[in-house]
A and B are shown apart, each in its own frame.
Chain A
Amino acid sequence: MSTALLKANNLMCERDDRLLFSNLSFELFSGDILRLEGPNGAGKTTLLRILSGLFSTFEGGVSWNGQNVRQCYSEFQQDLLFIGHKSSVKTTLTPLENLRFLMGLQQPIMDDELWQALEQVGLAGYEHVLCRNLSAGQKRRVALARLYLSDAKLWILDEIFTAIDKKGVAQLEAFLREKARMGVAIVLTTHHELSIPGIRLLRLGQVSE
């Protein structure tokens, strides 16, 4: 029995005098895909932000490799890929420049790899178009290109399928499955129907009043 990669212990979070969740515990192992479910406002994004360390007004603990995240935060950050609700894509830059910046924050990366990743998300030919001239789905795809370059062990993905077409969603699903087989742990939220076998579900929003 290996130790859990990520472990949430008795999480409790309140926002605006409303209890989002309490006594929430789960473990995430290498290769797991965990999907958070729940209606709008159930606290899915908040939970993802708690797990990634962006949101700190909660009770309970999050541990990484058996160690409290607060104690090994810089190691945790190196192993984490977070794609938020806002896609971090600057409209005054081109997809290539955006990707170079976003990837460069984690690891130095060669330009051909960036070109390749953009091709994989279907943005070949758009490398030098300003992102303000791209469609919403294409902007989202710029952010998603990070998935193809990342060697992080934990992916936290908030609503990444928004504005992506059906074919793109299917391709992305297959890619996530492939990555999970290679040992990446993935936590995601989405309102799309997913057909990933072995996906784990965590339902939020059942706490009443």
Chain B
Amino acid sequence: MSQQRRSEQGLLSVLGVVLQREFLSAYRSRQELANPLVFFVIVIVLFPLGVSPEPDFLRSAAAGLVWVAALLATMLSLDRLFQSDYDDGSLEQLVLCAQPLYLIVLIKSLIHWSLTGLPLILLSPFLATMLHLEAQHIPVLMLTLLMGTPVISLIGGIGAALTVSLRSGGILISLLVLPLTIPVLIFGTGTVQSSIDGLSVSGHFSIMGMMLALALTLSPFAIAAALKISVSD
């Protein structure tokens, strides 16, 4: 009993130090955090200039455009997820830590999401308004992003973990991971489209919720296994 209690405390304190260090090192290199955000904003701002500024056209394209931009922006930031830990050797220490690796990588992935996905969600209402999406559909768009971007971060984490020991992993991650994120994209935009068409969106949200639950519960194991393989090279 006391043994179990001690190991629980050990787990909490390990997760605590991981959390603290991730936020601290993200804060120290905060310019890098801005990259995906700037990409996200620029793609959406340039789109009307490049294609058509017609409000009707933009309204119909808004959901898809925001979603594609969010997907690519998250993807861009993924190769950094484990890279610096691999380069300086702290990944070895994480793998050797007596606490379960899948919980540590779950924490790391969620922190990554909160620093990339979450700011995108907070920016999305402004960009959606710019694209003439009606106000009543904006919460739906934000909710789909809230449920969808963690899935992208977690699935992308598997790709990042597999390619971390390769020199040019960036492009490989996209090739590996993009096909797996297509369902998220389809249901994300589909939900907003249904809302615009006046249909019920609860079914769409159920499916997105399922994807989120699956990603949260299963991908940490896959990421942990992939990291162990990468570290043993």
- B contacts, CB < 8 Å to A: 9-10, 13-14, 16-18, 20-21, 24-25, 28-29, 84, 87-90, 92-99, 231-232
Contact = CB atoms under 8 A, between A and B. Distances in A.
Given A88-B92, A90-B90, A101-B17, A130 B28 contact: yes
Chain A interface category by residue count: 20 to 34
Given A54-B96, A74-B98, A89 B88 contact: yes
A53 B101 CA distance: 14
Contacts of A93: 21, 24-25, 28
A80 B96 contact: yes
A3 interface: no
Interface of A: 49, 52-57, 74, 77-78, 80, 82, 84-93, 97, 100-102, 104-108, 130
A117 to B, nearest CB: 16
B14, B25, B87, B93: most-surrounded residue (chain A CB, <10 A): B93
A51 B33 CA distance: 38
A52, A85, A86: most-surrounded residue (chain B CB, <10 A): A86
Secondary structure of the B side of the interface?
helix
Nearest to A53: B96
A172 to B, nearest CB: 19
Contacts of A84: 89, 92
A86 to B, nearest CB: 3
Contacts of A106: 97-98
Contact of A108 (B13, B18, B25, B95): B13
A92 B25 contact: yes
A92 B96 contact: no
Nearest to B92: A84
B14, B87, B94: most-surrounded residue (chain A CB, <10 A): B14
A92 B27 CA distance: 9
A97 B232 contact: no
B25 A90 contact: yes
Contacts of B99: 105
A66 to B, nearest CB: 20
Given A105-B93, A105-B94, A91 B88 contact: yes
Nearest to A80: B96
7 tightest Cβ-Cβ pairs between the two chains A and B: A86-B89, A104-B17, A92-B28, A77-B98, A88-B90, A88-B89, A108-B13
Contact of A107 (B10, B21, B29, B92): B10
Contact of A78 (B9, B17, B98): B98
B30 to A, nearest CB: 10
A78 B99 CA distance: 9
Nearest to B29: A92
A93 B21 CA distance: 8
Nearest to B98: A77
B182 to A, nearest CB: 34
A160 B165 CA distance: 23
11 contacts: A52-B96, A74-B98, A78-B98, A90-B25, A90-B84, A90-B90, A92-B25, A92-B29, A105-B14, A105-B93, A130-B28
A97 B92 contact: no
A93 to B, nearest CB: 6
Given A90-B25, A105-B17, A77 B97 contact: yes
A57 B93 contact: no
Contacts of A88: 88-90, 92-93
Nearest to A82: B96
Contacts of A91: 88
B16 A104 contact: yes
Contacts of A54: 92, 95-96, 231-232
Contact of A77 (B20, B21, B25, B96): B96
Contacts of A78: 98
A105 B101 CA distance: 11
Contacts of A49: 232
Contacts of A82: 92-93, 96
Nearest to B91: A88
A3 B232 CA distance: 29
Nearest to B17: A104
